[in-house]
Structure 1
């Protein structure tokens, strides 16, 4: 099957390569030219615009960066008025519930199918098809696209017929990640300041109450101050915490841990760490006062 891709960044190219390995043909488009050249060299077909991708492929996956990119390409350009009625759009972007709802509504009004399918994981995991995908939308469409998504991830987690529910799950998960890394940073700062071996402590918690992969991965980064290269930039964590806070406000919730975590991320960014890994939050806790 020929699968379309709109957006050939680190996640998009990883998805393309895994689709190739699964035996699919890929037709892709990207605003920048270099990713298009890489796709062509890998055996893919390069489209001149997103409309051409939809014309060539019944199922199109978009892997764009944020609300602004999604709105510009899909909602502000008139694209949805020009693509075939039976088009299926699978959006992998981390976007707000407001944007996801507008996108689903715009597709439905024009007779298209839409699935929200944000990614849990980073580009390294995406290359190895070890990301997780949270998907929601029309059940028949979900049934149709799930085998394709399974080719690029370790598991597809289905969250029902309301497309934006997948985005809520993604936003909540990234909040948990940010707050967990801040909590781990503070615990390790206390451990090290009092002369304990940090790696022994990580072994303790990793084999008892806190055996989650996030603790293992970020604990190692914190101990070795491996903040560059970044698996998940602080600037992206700030974006995701802002989405969480906005959704909490619109849901009538007061969630103080989100405020505290956001403040720590902003403080770290003020220290010039925006492009560093999320684990660089530990810099604030470990520095000498």
Structure 2
């Protein structure tokens, strides 16, 4: 298939790599020209995905949010109007279910299939073609997207015959993921206040009932003092904001989610937005006046240049 991948961040680039490995012709597009050049050097098409839209069989959207998706599909780029009827749009972005349903309806009006297909698994699994996909859409959309799903995913959950169900499930997943990261940060920082080294925390807790996938994945970043962004702090005010918007419309109280969101907002306000989301632990460290690995002074002191801290 000729497949355009719009958005070559850590997840989109991994998906593009998986599609290339499966023998597809992949066209990339991103405002980061270095990512586009890198994809082309690895075998991607020399043509830009948006410029080549008419020739494509499928588009995979892996941009940041609903606003960027709207701009790509229906706004300035107006990509949908340039696609050939029968092409499938696979939207992997975390958005509100209402947006997914609206996008599907507008695509359908032009004869374009639409699969609401948010993803989970992180950048490593994206590059390995081992993502989990929470997908919903018509049977025709699933059929058109099947080769793409086979290349990028280890598990595809088929959640219904209309867009919106996939995004609803992703909201549930992001609720848990955001809470678990904040809980990890709280627990590992609390451990430090009790004289427990992060390395000891990591030796013990993964074998105990209090563990979680997020704890086992993110706590090593704290223990190593390495906040290279695999998934950035800035993602969570957006994603947990979507969760709370959906909850509010459903008149559902989500107090634990709201508390986790406030910690990510605090981290972003401290200038940590582009660091790995495990850096939310620095909020707890600051409040407790403790040092985490890699820090040269207490968080309550002046700016810690080694960690990028801005109190």
Same fold (TM over 0.5): yes
Q: For residues 38 and 280 of structure 1, what CA distance do their matches in structure 2 show?
A: 28
Is the partner of 1:133 in helix, strand or coil?
strand
Alpha-carbon deviations, 1:82-140, whole Å to 9, x = none?
42221211111222223212211101222221001112133233223333222111124
Alpha-carbon deviations, 1:164-205, whole Å to 9, x = none?
111122222122112112212222223222223443443433
Deviation at 1:70, TM superposition (A): 0.9
Is the partner of 1:151 in helix, strand or coil?
helix
Q: For residues 28 and 197 of structure 2, what CA distance do their matches in structure 1 show?
A: 49
Q: For residues 51 and 105 of structure 1, what CA distance do their matches in structure 2 show?
A: 24
Partner of 1:99: 99
Partner of 2:62: 63
Q: In 1, are the aligned partners of 2:88 and 2:144 still within 8 Å (CA)?
A: no
Alpha-carbon deviations, 1:23-61, whole Å to 9, x = none?
2222333344433333332222243562632x2122222
Distance 1:271 1:156, change over 3 A: same
Deviates more, 1:61-70 or 1:197-206: 197-206
Q: For residues 72 and 12 of structure 1, what CA distance do their matches in structure 2 show?
A: 17
The 4+ residue runs of structure 1 with deviation greater than 6 A are none
Deviation at 1:161, TM superposition (A): 1.5
Partner of 1:216: 216
Partner of 2:266: 267
Is the partner of 1:45 in helix, strand or coil?
coil
Deviation at 1:141, TM superposition (A): 2.4
Partner of 2:229: 230
Partner of 1:52: 52
Partner of 2:251: 252
Q: Does 1:121 align with 2:121?
A: yes
Q: For residues 152 and 115 of structure 1, what CA distance do their matches in structure 2 show?
A: 14
Distance 1:268 1:44, change over 3 A: closer
Q: In 2, are the aligned partners of 1:18 and 1:129 still within 8 Å (CA)?
A: yes
Q: For residues 90 and 48 of structure 2, what CA distance do their matches in structure 1 show?
A: 20
Is the partner of 1:271 in helix, strand or coil?
helix
Is the partner of 2:111 in helix, strand or coil?
coil
How many positions carry a matched residue from both structures?
287
Deviation at 1:245, TM superposition (A): 1.1
Deviates more, 1:73-82 or 1:11-20: 73-82
Q: In 1, are the aligned partners of 2:3 and 2:25 still within 8 Å (CA)?
A: yes
Distance 1:120 1:31, change over 3 A: same
Is the partner of 2:43 in helix, strand or coil?
coil
Partner of 1:284: 283
Q: In 2, are the aligned partners of 1:65 and 1:93 still within 8 Å (CA)?
A: yes
Deviation at 1:221, TM superposition (A): 1.9
Distance 1:142 1:224, change over 3 A: same
Q: In 2, are the aligned partners of 1:139 and 1:160 still within 8 Å (CA)?
A: no
Q: In 1, are the aligned partners of 2:118 and 2:166 still within 8 Å (CA)?
A: yes
Q: For residues 127 and 92 of structure 2, what CA distance do their matches in structure 1 show?
A: 15
Q: In 1, are the aligned partners of 2:101 and 2:162 still within 8 Å (CA)?
A: no
Q: In 2, are the aligned partners of 1:36 and 1:46 still within 8 Å (CA)?
A: no
Q: For residues 12 and 236 of structure 2, what CA distance do their matches in structure 1 show?
A: 19
Please list every run of 5 or more consecutive structure 1 residues that lacks an aligned counterpart in the other structure.
none
Distance 1:193 1:6, change over 3 A: closer
Q: For residues 240 and 109 of structure 2, what CA distance do their matches in structure 1 show?
A: 31
Q: For residues 256 and 217 of structure 1, what CA distance do their matches in structure 2 show?
A: 25
Q: In 1, are the aligned partners of 2:91 and 2:117 still within 8 Å (CA)?
A: yes
